[in-house]
Amino acid sequence: MNTSSQRLLHVENLVLHFKTAHGAVQAVDGVNFDLDVNRAVVILGESGCGKSSLAKAILRLLPRNVERYSGEVYLQGQDVMALDEEEFRHNVRWAGMSLVPQAAMNALNPVLRVGDQVAEPAMIHLGVTKSQALGQAKRMFQHVGVPEDFLDRYPFELSGGMRQRVALAMALVTSPSLVVLDEPTSALDLLTQANIMNVLKRIKHELGTSFILITHDIATSSELADEVAIMYAGQIVEVGDAKDFFPAPLHPYSKMLMDSVPRLRSDADPIFITGQPPSLVNLPTGCRFADRCPFRFGKCDEEPPMIEKGGRKVKCWLHV
Amino acid sequence: MEENGKSGQGALLSINDLHVWYELRRFGFGHAGYVKAVDGVSFEMAPGETVAVVGESGCGKSSLMKTILGLNIPTKGDVIFDGKNLSNLKGHELRAYRFEVGYVQQDPYGALPPFMSVQKILEEPLLISGVKSKDERLSRIRKVMDEVKMYPADDFLPKFPHMLSGGQQQRVVIARAMLREPKLIVADEPVSMLDASVRVEILKLMHALQTEHHLSVIYITHDLSTVKYFSARIFVMYAGNLVEKAATRRLLENPLHPYTHALLAATSDPDARNADTFKEVPPGEPPSLVNPPPGCRFHPRCAQAIAGLCDEKEPPDFEPEPGHQVSCWLYQ
């Protein structure tokens, strides 16, 4: 992890708070993680933990009610937080990293041919001609497994799985080194989900793209994960290599989350986590999971540090 | 379950050769074909039995469910509940039938009226069914709130749906379905909109209610990994037909239909080794229900299809082992 030449993304102390009538919603509250070239990190968390806000914070796609937005984001060694909006839009978003937003397959423009929609980002962000952009779109269609003649079709002529592939092709058409996927399979059927995960794996091998996969679906996420980051109440509480994480998660929340997954190939009785995550407006001062944690002890009233443990990191006093 | 005759004796619910077709019209009039959403489905359910109907979107499982709930009229075939044929029920008989069947919707927030408090939501079915005394209504609501483990009930009764978490909303939906002491509950993907940590809690709650009240439950889902915690039998549905019916354990241990194989192979367990391999997925997509392919409806996607047979003749139900039926020519 020390070879900085391989380092693609470095996120340090990223903060995104929203202004609301009830106070500041601390959706992303001091997130740190790194991603190397041609790796995929899965950000796992339950609804309302701030995982979609994290995607927005990385890509600087901010709504109007931002209370606080700070931290460091380095993409390929470049400090992108220092760029102004115009530079960021020109050189980073799409060209450097792109997003497949949640329910992207339903966000395609219904009155434009999908080929033109996929080609458009290439024309705008790479400055190529329309025919070059269409050629690039055609190549991306091959990578994501959409037949070439679909370039001339309209979104309503495609099935959900095909539209999701088109959305993926659009994110890839500018050849970004990083693609952020927000719940890419949650609205799809089982077999279509498996197909899309196959496509993502293939793209990772063929194009060397890195991925940030944001999801609540633990089982499906393991199809792509090189690294796993568990998010809880605006913070990452555990991050580590998938090969270490899945057999033995460290944080009590990660453990319970893993034990709550019903499994097809095991008879273990799944458990559930009692209680609810804290409100992001009114966060406790100590460990944010303490109220639901069966291992709570005196120390947990103070905020735990991120502890390094054999290449993994966990934010929990138990592992000091 | 044993084949206990076609008469439906001893069964709570018996579905015989059910067809639900929707007519397509061109420009508002003129016949343009049918969407054959349910096309020849038969099964029986004993009192207190739980079955899961597993299939992908567009396979007809919602049409099947709505017909059982009395919301769709069968095009052909019968739904017989407790000895009564649903097609013959009229007026207050149909209303009485609907009290015997509870419905748990997929999206709890969409299923609860946003402008009604929990108390109002739960009082309404009782008002409609003619419980006049307010005290009795409240005592029944308290009892059912207790059963879905929402206590103290008085904390929740004045709340509106948006003030509840997803899990609590789904509990209210379950409480509403349980109010009239139904014999059958139809649960349409009851946990798919919930977070992982809450999912199991709701499934266990439904299982406890099912055992305690000796309820029959039809659990409609696409998620095979949750089925074994809940259902005794699984029906696999594809393009309007039930292609495989078996006891849950047998189906998971010894799946027969190629489509069932595909569903099981596509279901992931959380395991880091998944990232090293590709999944086997049958090519193509489920067929149009307007013009389904001749013969077996899965044959265009099936690697084991037998030319001249699977693409011509519709497979009947074969029973390669007792209680395990499969509609596939490989098992003739």
H/E stretch holding B250? helix B248-253
Report if residue B205 sits inside a domain: yes
Q: Does A302 touch chain B (CB under 8 A)?
A: no
Q: Are strands A312-314 and A307-309 parallel, antiparallel or unpaired?
A: antiparallel
Q: Is A272 in contact with B201 (Cβ distance < 8 A)? A: yes
pLDDT at B295 over 90: yes
CA separation for the pair A59, A89 (Å, rounded): 9
pLDDT at B1 over 60: no
Q: Which residues pair with B47 in a beta bridge?
A: none
Average pLDDT over residues B15-44: 90
CA separation for the pair B16, A18 (Å, rounded): 57
Report if residue B4 sits inside a domain: no
pLDDT in the model for residue B258 = 96
A181 vs A106, A188, A245, B61, B137, CA distance in Å? 15, 14, 21, 30, 49
CA separation for the pair A170, A140 (Å, rounded): 8
From chain A, the residues in CB contact with B281 under 8 A are 191, 194-195, 198
Residues 20-39 of A with CB under 8 A from B: none
CA separation for the pair A163, A195 (Å, rounded): 13
Encode pLDDT of B172-217 as tens digits. Answer: 999 999 998 999 999 999 988 888 888 889 999 999 999 999 999 9
Report if residue B42 sits inside a domain: yes
Q: Is A264 in contact with B267 (Cβ distance < 8 A)? A: yes
Question: Two tokens at B274?
Answer: 């998944």
Say whether B299 sits in a helix, a strand or coil: helix
Percent of chain B exceeding pLDDT 70 equals: 97
Q: What value of ipTM does the predicted structure carry? A: 0.88
Say whether B238 sits in a helix, a strand or coil: strand
CATH of the domain at B293: 3.40.50.300
Report if residue B267 sits inside a domain: yes
CA distance A208 to chain B (A): 15
Q: Which letter does DSSP use for residue B97 in this model? A: H
CA separation for the pair B299, B304 (Å, rounded): 8
From chain A, the residues in CB contact with B274 under 8 A are 222-223
Closest C-alpha among A304, A280, A279 to residue A290:
A304
Q: Does B195 touch chain A (CB under 8 A)?
A: yes
Question: Two tokens at A76?
Answer: 């390929």
Closest C-alpha among A256, A253, A258 to residue A316:
A253
Largest CA distance in chain A: 65
* Residue A268 CB neighbours (<10 A): 9
Q: Does A270 touch chain B (CB under 8 A)?
A: yes
Question: Two tokens at B94?
Answer: 């149909």
Q: Is B270 in contact with A219 (Cβ distance < 8 A)? A: yes
Q: Which of B197, B230, B273, B298 to mutate to test the interface with A (most CBs of A within 10 A)?
A: B197
pLDDT in the model for residue A275 = 85
Average pLDDT over residues B90-96: 88
The distance of Cα A193 from the centroid of its chain, to the nearest Å, equals 17
Q: Is A218 in contact with B270 (Cβ distance < 8 A)? A: yes
Instruction: Write out the residue range of the structural domain in which residue B175 sits.
Output: 13-272+281-331
Q: Nearest by CB to B281, from A159, A195, A262: name it.
A: A195
Please spell the DSSP secondary structure of chain A, one letter per residue. ---TTTEEEEEEEEEEEEEETTEEEEEEEEEEEEEETT-EEEEE--TTSSHHHHHHHHHT---S-EEEEEEEEEETTEEGGGS-HHHIIIIIBTTTEEEE-TTGGG-S-TTS-HHHHHHHHHHHHH---HHHHHHHHHHHHHHHT--GGGGG--GGGS-HHHHHHHHHHHHHTT--SEEEEESTTTTS-HHHHHHHHHHHHHHHHHH--EEEEEES-HHHHTTT-SEEEEEETTEEEEEEEHHHHTT---SHHHHHHHHTS--SS--PPP----S-PPPSSS--SS-TTGGG-TT--GGGGSPPPPEEETTEEE--GGG-
**Total residue length of chain B:** 332
Q: Does A276 touch chain B (CB under 8 A)?
A: yes
Q: Which letter does DSSP use for residue B301 in this model? A: G
Largest CA distance in chain B: 68
CA separation for the pair A188, A192 (Å, rounded): 6
Report if residue B177 sits inside a domain: yes
The distance of Cα B102 from the centroid of its chain, to the nearest Å, equals 12
pLDDT interval class at B247 (50, 70, 90): very high
Q: Is B270 in contact with A256 (Cβ distance < 8 A)? A: no
pLDDT in the model for residue B129 = 86
CA separation for the pair A118, A232 (Å, rounded): 35
pLDDT in the model for residue A135 = 95
Q: Are strands B84-85 and B31-45 parallel, antiparallel or unpaired?
A: unpaired
Q: Which residues of B8-19 are buried (b: 16+ CB within 10 A; e: fewer)?
A: beebbbbbbebb
Q: How do the pLDDT tens digits run along chain A, 320 residues long? A: 444 448 999 999 999 999 999 899 999 999 999 999 999 999 999 888 999 999 999 999 999 999 999 999 999 999 999 999 999 998 999 999 999 988 888 889 999 999 999 999 999 999 999 999 999 999 999 999 999 999 999 999 998 889 999 999 999 999 999 999 999 988 788 999 999 999 999 999 999 999 999 999 999 999 999 999 999 999 999 999 999 999 999 999 999 999 999 899 888 889 989 888 899 999 999 999 999 999 999 999 999 999 998 889 999 999 98
pLDDT in the model for residue A137 = 96
pLDDT at B7 over 70: no
Q: Are strands B76-81 and B84-85 parallel, antiparallel or unpaired?
A: antiparallel
Report if residue B293 sits inside a domain: yes
CA separation for the pair B216, B210 (Å, rounded): 7
Which CATH number among 3.40.50.300, 3.40.640.10, 1.10.3720.10, 3.40.50.720 corresponds to the domain A1-38+48-88+225-287+303-320?
3.40.50.300
* Cis previous bond, A252, omega within 30: no
pLDDT in the model for residue B9 = 56
Chain A residue with minimal CA distance to B54?
A: A190
Q: Which of B268, B276, B288, B298 to mutate to test the interface with A (most CBs of A within 10 A)?
A: B268
pLDDT in the model for residue B2 = 39
Using an 8 Å Cβ cutoff, are A231 and A243 in contact? no
Q: Is A161 in contact with B285 (Cβ distance < 8 A)? A: yes
Average pLDDT over residues B289-307: 93
Report if residue B5 sits inside a domain: no
pLDDT interval class at B28 (50, 70, 90): confident
Say whether B152 sits in a helix, a strand or coil: coil
Report if residue B8 sits inside a domain: no
Question: Two tokens at A10?
Answer: 């470095």
